[in-house]
Amino acid sequence: MLRISVTLLLCAATFARADYMDHFVLREDVGPHKAPYLGDAQLVVIPIEVAGFPPIDLAALQHFFSPDDPNGFVKYYEAASLGRYHPRVTVAPKVSYATCPLPAAQFPTCAVARGDINAFTAGMDMMRDVIKKSDQAGFDFAPYDVNGRKGTADGWIDGVMLLTNVPFGGIAFPFGFFNRGDNLNGSNSGPLVVDGIKIGHFAIAGENDQFVMVHEFGHVLGLTDLYDESGKYDGLYLSVMGTWGYDPNIPLPDAETRFRLRWANWHQVQGRQRVVIHPAETTGEVYRLGTGDEYFLVENRGPGDAFDRSLPERGLAVFHVDRTVKLGGQEGQFVERILDCVNCDPWHPYIRLLQADGLFEIEHSGRFGRGDLFGAGSFLRPDPRAVAVSELNAVNSSNLYSGAVSGLKLDDVRLLADGSIEVTLDAPETGQCDEKLCAEGEGCAPVTCGEPEKKTGCSVGEGLWPAFGLLLLEQGLRRRKQRVLRRP
């Protein structure tokens, strides 16, 4: 995410509604502030080619965004969502520029440095011009609204991406929030409107880097950055929104992200449970220890066939989540998260990946590797000293950030031959089953909470037992009578 001047951004924040990348502090803002993340979606990628820079490989672009690429954009989001989100992507006709569309005085080589605030206005002008050129060339934007908050067309585009060949990283940009110029529909300010469809947000990537687009589109779905913008450490591993080198080894979203997107099969732990956790890449299973704003999430991660290929081994990934860290739903608060990110503090971020070996190499040196996932012989237990983890107290525990002893435990880990992992999890005996993410639908409520419910009443087998017992008794009496009659 491009860092932009906070003063410039805050001047534009003249009204307060929801935020476009709040990690689902607000959920009911699909359309104006989030692209639909469940069901079918029609997305569009517009290639932007500037003369003098390496040309865009349109065939490779078409393949990556097609359902035929097992390692591409569509398959990634279908796998990450357990098939609950089905994006279909159209690569629109290329928009070409003979010279750089940015002002030559400010951008003599057309390169946009990270954090360059001069690109703010010029970049918005370019976005507007690209949509205008596409519309004038006959591209119809109307078919790209098939989904919305209620699962049907809502007047907002399902998602638009701009891929350029100029030297530029990537950004997801809330155009409608900042626009005070032409909206292409006869008035000023707000989202662009073409073919009756509103465009409020763009995901943008440069240097022909299609992998960056996987991350940037996550922002359009409502997700915030989980890497460390300040440079103290790398940020969150095992997350497409965190520390990833934008290479073909795309990591799945972390457990908290899938949980919030309703892409997880969520199990709430209550009491002591011995469970078998199946691989996240095929089942989406997430076990949640604790409730409220602070809790732990456990999932089974390891090298997969298509995604998570760079993981060194299979084990349990344990995430400590605190949603009170810099998240907010007021529109414009994303500015603060750009300048002071939610994962900038390695010892108390929004989402922290615990390391089984207790060496805290992620916090100290930004290194993730073997021994960090929880495998055979590893455990997580409370620290009875009631002290929070910190740089001065680098001790693995399930204590809360306040230091309070949570009582949550993870113990007796066993890796099974099929890739599943057996583990004992402990949480409070009561009061864990009442929370829901939303009123109804997949992912809104836990699949299970505590031990499986015991059957009530008689099953078919239970109903047969009395009759079977009578039959055995009758047969026994008959044999006894026959023996008596045979006596000499």
Q: Tens of pLDDT along the chain (488 residues)?
A: 443 333 333 333 333 457 889 999 999 899 999 999 999 999 999 999 999 999 999 999 999 999 999 999 999 999 999 999 999 999 999 999 999 998 888 888 988 876 666 677 888 999 999 999 999 999 999 999 999 999 999 999 999 999 999 998 899 999 999 999 999 999 999 999 999 999 999 999 999 999 999 999 999 999 999 999 888 999 999 999 999 999 999 999 999 999 999 999 999 999 999 999 999 999 999 999 999 999 999 999 999 888 999 999 999 999 999 999 999 888 888 888 878 899 999 999 999 999 999 999 999 988 999 999 999 999 999 999 999 999 999 999 999 999 999 999 999 999 999 999 999 999 999 999 999 999 999 999 999 999 754 444 444 343 433 333 433 334 443 444 344 334 43
> How far is Cα 28 from Cα 18, in angstroms, rounded to an integer?
9
Give the list of residues 6+ apart from residue 180 with CB closer than 8 angstroms, or none. 12, 188, 189
DSSP state of 71: T
> How many alpha carbons lie under 13 Å from residue 56 in its C-beta half-sphere?
31
Tokens of 269: 């732990």
* Residue 210 burial class via C-beta count within 10 angstroms: exposed 0-12, middle 13-18, buried 19 and up: buried
Decide if 92 contacts 139 (C-beta within 8 A): yes
Own/partner pairs, 127-133, CB within 8 angstroms, 24+ separation: 127/162, 127/173, 127/175, 127/192, 127/202, 127/204, 128/179, 128/181, 128/182, 128/184, 128/192, 129/101, 130/46, 130/48, 130/95, 130/162, 131/46, 131/184, 131/192, 131/194, 131/199, 132/184, 133/95
> What's the distance, CA 237 to chain centroid?
13
Give the start-to-end residue ranges of the domains of the chain: 6-220, 255-449
